[in-house]
Chains A and B, each alone.
Chain A
Amino acid sequence: MTAITHHTPDALLAAYAAGNLARPYALLVAAHISMCLECRAALDAHHVAGGVVLDATDAAEISTDLKAATLAMLDTPYEAKPVQARSGIYPGAIMAALKGKPPRWKPLGMGVRQCILSDSAEGSARLLYIPAGRAVPDHSHNGLELTLVLQGSFSDSTGRFGVGDLEVADQSLEHTPTADPGVPCICIAATDAPLRFNARIPRILQPFFRI
Protein backbone atom coordinates (compact mmCIF):
# COMPACT_ATOMS: atom_id res chain seq x y z
CA MET A 1 0.00 0.00 0.00
CA THR A 2 1.35 3.42 -0.87
CA ALA A 3 1.28 6.19 1.68
CA ILE A 4 -1.85 8.28 2.04
CA THR A 5 -1.24 11.75 0.65
CA HIS A 6 -4.72 13.32 0.67
CA HIS A 7 -6.01 13.88 4.19
CA THR A 8 -9.07 15.18 5.99
CA PRO A 9 -9.11 18.99 6.12
CA ASP A 10 -8.80 20.30 9.65
CA ALA A 11 -12.17 22.04 9.67
CA LEU A 12 -13.91 18.76 8.81
CA LEU A 13 -12.04 17.00 11.63
CA ALA A 14 -12.99 19.69 14.14
CA ALA A 15 -16.64 19.56 13.07
CA TYR A 16 -16.53 15.76 13.24
CA ALA A 17 -15.00 15.85 16.74
CA ALA A 18 -17.74 18.25 17.83
CA GLY A 19 -20.39 16.07 16.20
CA ASN A 20 -21.52 18.78 13.82
CA LEU A 21 -20.75 17.18 10.49
CA ALA A 22 -23.47 15.96 8.12
CA ARG A 23 -23.77 12.21 8.46
CA PRO A 24 -22.57 11.27 4.95
CA TYR A 25 -19.37 13.28 5.55
CA ALA A 26 -18.97 11.88 9.05
CA LEU A 27 -19.07 8.39 7.56
CA LEU A 28 -16.18 9.15 5.21
CA VAL A 29 -14.16 10.95 7.88
CA ALA A 30 -14.59 7.98 10.24
CA ALA A 31 -13.61 5.58 7.45
CA HIS A 32 -10.56 7.66 6.50
CA ILE A 33 -9.39 7.85 10.13
CA SER A 34 -9.71 4.07 10.30
CA MET A 35 -7.07 3.94 7.56
CA CYS A 36 -4.92 6.97 8.43
CA LEU A 37 -2.69 7.38 11.48
CA GLU A 38 -2.08 11.06 10.77
CA CYS A 39 -5.75 12.00 10.82
CA ARG A 40 -6.33 9.74 13.84
CA ALA A 41 -3.73 11.79 15.70
CA ALA A 42 -5.26 15.02 14.40
CA LEU A 43 -8.70 13.94 15.64
CA ASP A 44 -7.19 13.19 19.05
CA ALA A 45 -5.72 16.70 19.01
CA HIS A 46 -9.21 18.11 18.50
CA HIS A 47 -10.42 15.99 21.41
CA VAL A 48 -7.60 17.52 23.46
CA ALA A 49 -8.91 20.97 22.53
CA GLY A 50 -12.50 19.92 23.27
CA GLY A 51 -11.32 18.62 26.64
CA VAL A 52 -9.68 21.96 27.37
CA VAL A 53 -12.99 23.71 26.64
CA LEU A 54 -14.82 21.20 28.85
CA ASP A 55 -12.29 21.72 31.63
CA ALA A 56 -12.71 25.47 31.47
CA THR A 57 -16.50 25.32 31.65
CA ASP A 58 -18.07 26.79 34.76
CA ALA A 59 -19.36 24.07 37.05
CA ALA A 60 -23.11 23.72 37.35
CA GLU A 61 -24.62 22.55 40.59
CA ILE A 62 -25.66 18.93 40.38
CA SER A 63 -28.46 17.25 42.29
CA THR A 64 -27.33 15.90 45.62
CA ASP A 65 -28.34 12.33 44.83
CA LEU A 66 -26.77 12.11 41.35
CA LYS A 67 -23.43 10.88 42.61
CA ALA A 68 -24.89 8.23 44.90
CA ALA A 69 -27.25 7.10 42.14
CA THR A 70 -24.37 6.83 39.68
CA LEU A 71 -22.13 4.97 42.11
CA ALA A 72 -24.97 2.57 42.84
CA MET A 73 -25.19 1.72 39.15
CA LEU A 74 -21.55 0.74 38.73
CA ASP A 75 -22.30 -2.93 39.25
CA THR A 76 -25.45 -2.95 37.14
CA PRO A 77 -24.86 -5.42 34.33
CA TYR A 78 -25.00 -3.81 30.95
CA GLU A 79 -24.56 -4.99 27.45
CA ALA A 80 -22.01 -3.18 25.35
CA LYS A 81 -23.37 -2.09 22.00
CA PRO A 82 -21.85 -4.33 19.35
CA VAL A 83 -19.29 -2.51 17.24
CA GLN A 84 -19.26 -3.30 13.55
CA ALA A 85 -15.86 -4.70 12.61
CA ARG A 86 -13.89 -3.99 9.48
CA SER A 87 -14.49 -6.50 6.71
CA GLY A 88 -12.12 -6.79 3.77
CA ILE A 89 -11.61 -3.34 2.27
CA TYR A 90 -14.52 -1.83 4.23
CA PRO A 91 -13.83 -0.10 7.56
CA GLY A 92 -16.31 -0.75 10.36
CA ALA A 93 -18.18 2.52 9.81
CA ILE A 94 -18.93 1.54 6.19
CA MET A 95 -19.83 -2.02 7.22
CA ALA A 96 -22.29 -0.49 9.70
CA ALA A 97 -23.81 1.58 6.88
CA LEU A 98 -24.04 -1.66 4.86
CA LYS A 99 -25.78 -3.24 7.86
CA GLY A 100 -23.03 -5.84 8.02
CA LYS A 101 -23.71 -7.26 4.55
CA PRO A 102 -21.63 -7.09 1.36
CA PRO A 103 -22.60 -4.26 -1.01
CA ARG A 104 -25.44 -4.92 -3.45
CA TRP A 105 -24.15 -3.32 -6.61
CA LYS A 106 -26.44 -1.74 -9.21
CA PRO A 107 -25.11 -1.25 -12.73
CA LEU A 108 -24.71 2.31 -13.98
CA GLY A 109 -23.48 1.38 -17.45
CA MET A 110 -19.95 0.99 -18.89
CA GLY A 111 -19.17 -1.51 -16.14
CA VAL A 112 -19.55 1.15 -13.47
CA ARG A 113 -21.65 0.12 -10.48
CA GLN A 114 -22.93 1.83 -7.38
CA CYS A 115 -24.41 0.91 -4.04
CA ILE A 116 -26.33 3.67 -2.30
CA LEU A 117 -25.75 3.67 1.45
CA SER A 118 -27.88 6.66 2.33
CA ASP A 119 -29.85 9.28 0.47
CA SER A 120 -31.76 11.94 2.30
CA ALA A 121 -32.15 15.65 2.73
CA GLU A 122 -28.87 15.52 4.61
CA GLY A 123 -27.02 14.30 1.54
CA SER A 124 -25.98 10.97 0.15
CA ALA A 125 -23.29 8.36 0.54
CA ARG A 126 -22.69 5.66 -2.02
CA LEU A 127 -20.07 3.11 -2.96
CA LEU A 128 -18.77 3.22 -6.52
CA TYR A 129 -17.14 0.39 -8.44
CA ILE A 130 -15.17 1.60 -11.45
CA PRO A 131 -13.35 -0.83 -13.75
CA ALA A 132 -9.83 0.17 -14.77
CA GLY A 133 -9.83 2.89 -17.39
CA ARG A 134 -13.49 3.75 -16.89
CA ALA A 135 -14.69 7.13 -15.81
CA VAL A 136 -17.30 7.88 -13.24
CA PRO A 137 -20.11 9.40 -15.27
CA ASP A 138 -19.47 13.08 -15.68
CA HIS A 139 -21.11 15.12 -13.01
CA SER A 140 -20.90 18.21 -10.94
CA HIS A 141 -22.41 18.75 -7.56
CA ASN A 142 -24.05 21.43 -5.51
CA GLY A 143 -22.10 21.16 -2.31
CA LEU A 144 -18.88 19.61 -1.14
CA GLU A 145 -18.15 16.15 -2.47
CA LEU A 146 -15.85 13.81 -0.54
CA THR A 147 -14.47 10.65 -2.14
CA LEU A 148 -12.46 8.03 -0.25
CA VAL A 149 -10.61 5.30 -2.15
CA LEU A 150 -10.98 1.79 -0.69
CA GLN A 151 -9.39 -0.24 -3.46
CA GLY A 152 -7.32 0.58 -6.55
CA SER A 153 -6.93 4.22 -7.48
CA PHE A 154 -8.40 6.94 -9.64
CA SER A 155 -7.10 10.11 -11.18
CA ASP A 156 -8.75 13.33 -12.18
CA SER A 157 -7.71 16.84 -13.06
CA THR A 158 -6.52 17.42 -9.49
CA GLY A 159 -4.25 14.38 -9.10
CA ARG A 160 -4.03 10.70 -8.28
CA PHE A 161 -5.92 9.13 -5.40
CA GLY A 162 -4.90 5.74 -3.99
CA VAL A 163 -6.21 3.58 -1.15
CA GLY A 164 -6.98 5.74 1.87
CA ASP A 165 -6.80 9.02 -0.01
CA LEU A 166 -9.67 11.42 0.56
CA GLU A 167 -10.57 13.80 -2.25
CA VAL A 168 -12.34 16.99 -1.26
CA ALA A 169 -14.07 18.62 -4.22
CA ASP A 170 -16.10 21.77 -3.90
CA GLN A 171 -18.84 22.79 -6.24
CA SER A 172 -16.53 24.68 -8.56
CA LEU A 173 -14.80 21.46 -9.59
CA GLU A 174 -16.23 19.68 -12.60
CA HIS A 175 -14.05 16.62 -12.50
CA THR A 176 -14.00 13.29 -14.30
CA PRO A 177 -12.50 10.71 -11.98
CA THR A 178 -11.08 7.85 -14.06
CA ALA A 179 -9.96 4.53 -12.59
CA ASP A 180 -6.26 3.84 -13.09
CA PRO A 181 -5.05 0.63 -14.75
CA GLY A 182 -5.03 -2.39 -12.46
CA VAL A 183 -7.70 -3.64 -10.09
CA PRO A 184 -11.12 -2.01 -10.29
CA CYS A 185 -11.35 1.13 -8.19
CA ILE A 186 -13.80 0.95 -5.31
CA CYS A 187 -14.50 4.20 -3.53
CA ILE A 188 -17.12 5.83 -1.38
CA ALA A 189 -18.49 9.26 -2.25
CA ALA A 190 -20.52 11.61 -0.09
CA THR A 191 -22.30 14.87 -0.74
CA ASP A 192 -24.52 17.12 1.29
CA ALA A 193 -26.71 17.78 -1.74
CA PRO A 194 -28.17 15.72 -4.58
CA LEU A 195 -25.78 15.32 -7.48
CA ARG A 196 -26.73 16.71 -10.83
CA PHE A 197 -25.68 15.08 -14.02
CA ASN A 198 -24.14 16.81 -16.98
CA ALA A 199 -24.43 14.23 -19.68
CA ARG A 200 -24.62 10.58 -20.63
CA ILE A 201 -27.71 9.78 -18.63
CA PRO A 202 -30.78 11.75 -19.63
CA ARG A 203 -31.99 14.01 -16.86
CA ILE A 204 -35.31 12.19 -16.81
CA LEU A 205 -33.58 9.00 -15.74
CA GLN A 206 -31.68 10.61 -12.92
CA PRO A 207 -34.26 10.00 -10.24
CA PHE A 208 -34.12 6.36 -11.26
CA PHE A 209 -30.37 6.15 -11.04
CA ARG A 210 -30.19 8.55 -8.15
CA ILE A 211 -26.78 9.88 -8.97
Chain B
Amino acid sequence: MLFGVITGRKEIWIINDLGLFPRRIGGMMIALTPSRFAGPIPPLRVQKDILSVTQSSNSFSPQTVWMLDVRDNRDRDAFAAIFDHFAPRLKGFVMRSGTSAAQAEEIVQDVMLTVWRKSDQFDPARAQVSAWIYQITRNRQIDVLRKENRPIPDELTIDPEAAPDASQVIAVEQEAGKLKQAIARLKPDQRRIIEQAYLGELTHQEISTRTGLPLGTIKSRIRLGLEKLRHDLKDMH
Protein backbone atom coordinates (compact mmCIF):
# COMPACT_ATOMS: atom_id res chain seq x y z
CA MET B 1 0.00 0.00 0.00
CA LEU B 2 2.61 2.44 1.07
CA PHE B 3 5.28 1.57 -1.41
CA GLY B 4 2.89 1.91 -4.29
CA VAL B 5 2.24 5.59 -3.60
CA ILE B 6 5.77 6.67 -2.98
CA THR B 7 7.74 7.84 -5.95
CA GLY B 8 11.05 9.37 -6.90
CA ARG B 9 13.50 10.23 -4.18
CA LYS B 10 11.29 8.75 -1.53
CA GLU B 11 11.89 5.28 -2.89
CA ILE B 12 15.53 5.61 -2.13
CA TRP B 13 14.62 6.95 1.25
CA ILE B 14 12.60 3.85 2.00
CA ILE B 15 15.40 1.58 0.94
CA ASN B 16 17.78 3.47 3.15
CA ASP B 17 15.28 3.08 5.88
CA LEU B 18 15.16 -0.65 5.36
CA GLY B 19 18.89 -0.75 5.53
CA LEU B 20 18.55 0.64 9.00
CA PHE B 21 15.82 -1.65 10.23
CA PRO B 22 18.06 -4.53 11.25
CA ARG B 23 19.64 -2.21 13.82
CA ARG B 24 16.43 -2.07 15.82
CA ILE B 25 14.40 -4.82 14.33
CA GLY B 26 16.59 -7.87 14.51
CA GLY B 27 15.90 -10.80 12.25
CA MET B 28 13.26 -8.79 10.50
CA MET B 29 11.82 -10.11 7.29
CA ILE B 30 10.70 -7.27 5.18
CA ALA B 31 11.42 -6.21 1.71
CA LEU B 32 10.30 -4.68 -1.45
CA THR B 33 9.69 -5.85 -4.92
CA PRO B 34 12.60 -4.49 -6.93
CA SER B 35 10.32 -3.70 -9.85
CA ARG B 36 8.56 -1.10 -7.74
CA PHE B 37 11.65 1.04 -7.83
CA ALA B 38 12.20 3.13 -10.85
CA GLY B 39 15.41 4.78 -9.75
CA PRO B 40 18.79 3.25 -9.09
CA ILE B 41 18.89 1.19 -5.93
CA PRO B 42 21.58 2.39 -3.56
CA PRO B 43 23.63 -0.17 -1.67
CA LEU B 44 21.85 -1.43 1.39
CA ARG B 45 23.66 -0.93 4.61
CA VAL B 46 22.69 -4.35 5.81
CA GLN B 47 22.06 -6.99 3.24
CA LYS B 48 21.17 -9.97 5.35
CA ASP B 49 17.81 -10.29 7.02
CA ILE B 50 16.09 -8.73 4.06
CA LEU B 51 13.74 -10.90 2.11
CA SER B 52 11.62 -10.19 -0.86
CA VAL B 53 7.97 -9.71 -0.08
CA THR B 54 5.66 -9.08 -2.93
CA GLN B 55 2.39 -8.41 -1.14
CA SER B 56 2.06 -4.71 -0.69
CA SER B 57 -0.18 -5.34 2.31
CA ASN B 58 2.91 -6.50 4.15
CA SER B 59 4.10 -2.97 4.63
CA PHE B 60 3.86 -0.32 7.27
CA SER B 61 1.48 2.61 7.24
CA PRO B 62 2.91 5.92 5.99
CA GLN B 63 2.81 7.29 9.55
CA THR B 64 4.95 4.43 10.84
CA VAL B 65 7.46 4.80 8.01
CA TRP B 66 7.69 8.56 8.63
CA MET B 67 8.15 8.04 12.33
CA LEU B 68 10.83 5.38 11.87
CA ASP B 69 12.63 7.75 9.54
CA VAL B 70 12.46 10.47 12.17
CA ARG B 71 13.71 8.05 14.79
CA ASP B 72 16.46 6.34 12.84
CA ASN B 73 17.55 9.01 10.37
CA ARG B 74 16.47 12.28 12.05
CA ASP B 75 14.75 13.07 8.76
CA ARG B 76 13.12 16.51 8.76
CA ASP B 77 10.95 15.84 5.71
CA ALA B 78 9.50 12.85 7.49
CA PHE B 79 8.93 14.99 10.57
CA ALA B 80 7.18 17.60 8.43
CA ALA B 81 4.93 14.85 7.08
CA ILE B 82 4.11 13.74 10.63
CA PHE B 83 3.37 17.35 11.51
CA ASP B 84 1.07 17.84 8.53
CA HIS B 85 -0.85 14.70 9.37
CA PHE B 86 -1.15 15.04 13.12
CA ALA B 87 -0.99 18.73 14.05
CA PRO B 88 -4.51 19.66 12.82
CA ARG B 89 -6.07 16.54 14.41
CA LEU B 90 -4.13 17.13 17.57
CA LYS B 91 -5.37 20.69 17.81
CA GLY B 92 -8.93 19.52 17.31
CA PHE B 93 -8.42 16.79 19.90
CA VAL B 94 -6.94 19.13 22.52
CA MET B 95 -9.67 21.72 21.95
CA ARG B 96 -12.35 19.12 22.61
CA SER B 97 -11.22 19.17 26.24
CA GLY B 98 -12.15 22.85 26.38
CA THR B 99 -8.66 24.21 25.76
CA SER B 100 -8.52 27.56 23.96
CA ALA B 101 -7.23 27.66 20.40
CA ALA B 102 -4.08 29.53 21.42
CA GLN B 103 -3.22 27.17 24.25
CA ALA B 104 -4.08 24.19 22.06
CA GLU B 105 -1.44 25.32 19.55
CA GLU B 106 1.10 25.61 22.34
CA ILE B 107 0.34 22.04 23.33
CA VAL B 108 0.50 20.90 19.70
CA GLN B 109 3.93 22.47 19.37
CA ASP B 110 5.13 20.92 22.64
CA VAL B 111 3.85 17.51 21.60
CA MET B 112 5.40 17.70 18.14
CA LEU B 113 8.74 18.74 19.62
CA THR B 114 8.54 15.81 22.03
CA VAL B 115 7.86 13.53 19.06
CA TRP B 116 11.13 14.77 17.55
CA ARG B 117 13.19 14.76 20.74
CA LYS B 118 12.00 11.49 22.21
CA SER B 119 11.62 9.59 18.96
CA ASP B 120 13.87 6.85 20.35
CA GLN B 121 10.96 5.90 22.60
CA PHE B 122 8.69 5.21 19.65
CA ASP B 123 8.17 1.47 19.36
CA PRO B 124 5.78 0.42 16.57
CA ALA B 125 5.75 -3.12 17.95
CA ARG B 126 3.77 -1.84 20.95
CA ALA B 127 1.49 0.79 19.51
CA GLN B 128 0.87 2.71 16.31
CA VAL B 129 2.10 6.29 15.87
CA SER B 130 -1.21 7.89 16.84
CA ALA B 131 -1.20 5.87 20.09
CA TRP B 132 2.25 7.12 20.98
CA ILE B 133 1.25 10.71 20.18
CA TYR B 134 -1.96 10.27 22.17
CA GLN B 135 0.12 9.21 25.18
CA ILE B 136 2.48 12.19 24.85
CA THR B 137 -0.48 14.53 24.45
CA ARG B 138 -2.36 13.34 27.52
CA ASN B 139 0.83 13.50 29.62
CA ARG B 140 1.44 17.03 28.38
CA GLN B 141 -2.14 18.19 28.96
CA ILE B 142 -2.11 16.83 32.50
CA ASP B 143 1.27 18.30 33.34
CA VAL B 144 0.06 21.68 32.08
CA LEU B 145 -3.22 21.37 33.95
CA ARG B 146 -1.75 20.22 37.25
CA LYS B 147 1.63 21.90 36.99
CA GLU B 148 3.28 18.72 38.17
CA ASN B 149 4.45 15.52 36.53
CA ARG B 150 2.10 12.62 36.79
CA PRO B 151 3.42 9.26 37.98
CA ILE B 152 4.71 7.18 35.08
CA PRO B 153 5.79 3.53 34.86
CA ASP B 154 9.48 2.66 34.62
CA GLU B 155 10.56 2.32 31.01
CA LEU B 156 11.20 -1.19 29.82
CA THR B 157 14.90 -1.66 29.28
CA ILE B 158 15.12 -2.62 25.65
CA ASP B 159 18.21 -4.10 24.12
CA PRO B 160 18.89 -1.84 21.12
CA GLU B 161 20.05 -4.83 19.07
CA ALA B 162 17.12 -7.11 19.80
CA ALA B 163 13.67 -5.93 18.95
CA PRO B 164 10.46 -7.29 17.50
CA ASP B 165 10.01 -8.30 13.92
CA ALA B 166 8.09 -6.57 11.18
CA SER B 167 5.19 -9.00 11.48
CA GLN B 168 4.62 -7.76 15.03
CA VAL B 169 4.55 -4.15 13.85
CA ILE B 170 2.13 -5.02 11.07
CA ALA B 171 -0.07 -7.02 13.43
CA VAL B 172 -0.31 -4.08 15.85
CA GLU B 173 -1.26 -1.77 12.98
CA GLN B 174 -3.89 -4.23 11.81
CA GLU B 175 -5.35 -4.54 15.30
CA ALA B 176 -5.49 -0.75 15.56
CA GLY B 177 -7.25 -0.70 12.19
CA LYS B 178 -9.81 -3.26 13.34
CA LEU B 179 -10.46 -1.26 16.49
CA LYS B 180 -10.95 1.86 14.40
CA GLN B 181 -13.57 0.04 12.35
CA ALA B 182 -15.23 -1.31 15.47
CA ILE B 183 -15.50 2.18 16.96
CA ALA B 184 -16.76 3.60 13.66
CA ARG B 185 -19.54 1.00 13.63
CA LEU B 186 -20.81 1.98 17.08
CA LYS B 187 -23.98 3.96 17.50
CA PRO B 188 -23.19 7.67 17.91
CA ASP B 189 -23.98 7.76 21.63
CA GLN B 190 -21.83 4.69 22.28
CA ARG B 191 -19.02 6.18 20.27
CA ARG B 192 -19.34 9.38 22.24
CA ILE B 193 -18.74 7.44 25.47
CA ILE B 194 -15.51 5.94 24.10
CA GLU B 195 -14.37 9.39 23.03
CA GLN B 196 -15.23 10.85 26.43
CA ALA B 197 -13.30 8.06 28.17
CA TYR B 198 -10.12 8.69 26.19
CA LEU B 199 -10.50 12.44 26.41
CA GLY B 200 -10.34 12.05 30.19
CA GLU B 201 -13.94 13.10 30.75
CA LEU B 202 -15.06 9.95 32.57
CA THR B 203 -14.03 8.72 35.99
CA HIS B 204 -12.93 5.13 36.41
CA GLN B 205 -16.31 4.34 37.99
CA GLU B 206 -18.08 5.72 34.93
CA ILE B 207 -15.75 3.84 32.60
CA SER B 208 -16.33 0.53 34.36
CA THR B 209 -20.04 0.77 33.86
CA ARG B 210 -20.24 2.47 30.49
CA THR B 211 -17.58 1.27 28.09
CA GLY B 212 -16.71 -2.14 26.85
CA LEU B 213 -14.21 -1.88 24.04
CA PRO B 214 -12.97 -5.14 22.50
CA LEU B 215 -9.34 -4.74 23.55
CA GLY B 216 -8.60 -8.41 24.29
CA THR B 217 -6.83 -9.30 21.03
CA ILE B 218 -4.79 -6.13 20.99
CA LYS B 219 -3.65 -6.74 24.55
CA SER B 220 -2.49 -10.28 23.82
CA ARG B 221 -0.76 -9.16 20.64
CA ILE B 222 1.14 -6.38 22.41
CA ARG B 223 1.96 -8.72 25.24
CA LEU B 224 3.46 -11.19 22.77
CA GLY B 225 5.74 -8.44 21.56
CA LEU B 226 6.74 -7.45 25.09
CA GLU B 227 7.43 -11.05 26.02
CA LYS B 228 9.63 -11.46 23.01
CA LEU B 229 11.63 -8.44 24.07
CA ARG B 230 11.95 -9.85 27.52
CA HIS B 231 13.18 -13.17 26.17
CA ASP B 232 15.66 -11.37 24.01
CA LEU B 233 16.89 -9.60 27.10
CA LYS B 234 17.24 -12.89 28.95
CA ASP B 235 19.20 -14.38 26.06
CA MET B 236 21.55 -11.48 26.21
CA HIS B 237 22.54 -12.01 29.82
Contacts and interface: CB of A to CB of B under 8 A. Distances in A.
Interface of A: 9-12, 14-15, 17-21, 23, 25-27, 29-31, 33-34, 37-38, 40-63, 66-67, 69-71, 73-74, 78, 80-81, 83, 85-86, 91-93, 96-97
Interface in B121-170: 126-135, 137-139, 141-142, 149-156
A31 B215 CA distance: 22
B134 A50 contact: yes
A18 B200 contact: yes
Contact of B109 (A27, A57, A60, A70): A70
Contacts of B139: 19
B199 interface: yes
B83 A70 contact: yes
Nearest to A48: B131
B229 to A, nearest CB: 9
30 contacts: A11-B211, A18-B138, A18-B198, A19-B150, A20-B200, A20-B202, A30-B151, A31-B153, A41-B220, A41-B226, A42-B219, A45-B218, A45-B222, A47-B131, A48-B131, A48-B175, A49-B131, A49-B194, A50-B134, A50-B198, A51-B133, A53-B195, A54-B90, A56-B184, A58-B89, A60-B88, A67-B87, A71-B76, A73-B109, A96-B151
A51 B227 contact: no
Contacts, number: 222
Consensus secondary structure, chain B interface? helix
B95 interface: yes
Given A37-B230, A67-B80, A67-B84, A19 B138 contact: yes
Closest 4 CB pairs of A and B: A51-B131, A51-B130, A59-B88, A11-B208
Interface in B49-66: none
Contact of B108 (A20, A27, A41, A62): A62
Contacts of A50: 131, 134-135, 138, 198
A30 B152 contact: yes
Interface residues of B, number: 79
Contacts of B154: 34, 85-86, 91-93
A15 B202 contact: yes
A26 B150 contact: yes
Nearest to B109: A70
B104 interface: yes
B200 A69 contact: no
A23 B104 CA distance: 24
A78 B172 CA distance: 32
B3 interface: no
A78 B195 CA distance: 33
A10 B108 CA distance: 29
B79 interface: yes
B204 A12 contact: yes
Given A45-B222, A51-B134, 11 more contacts: A23-B151, A52-B183, A54-B93, A55-B130, A56-B183, A57-B96, A58-B89, A60-B88, A61-B88, A70-B112, A71-B79
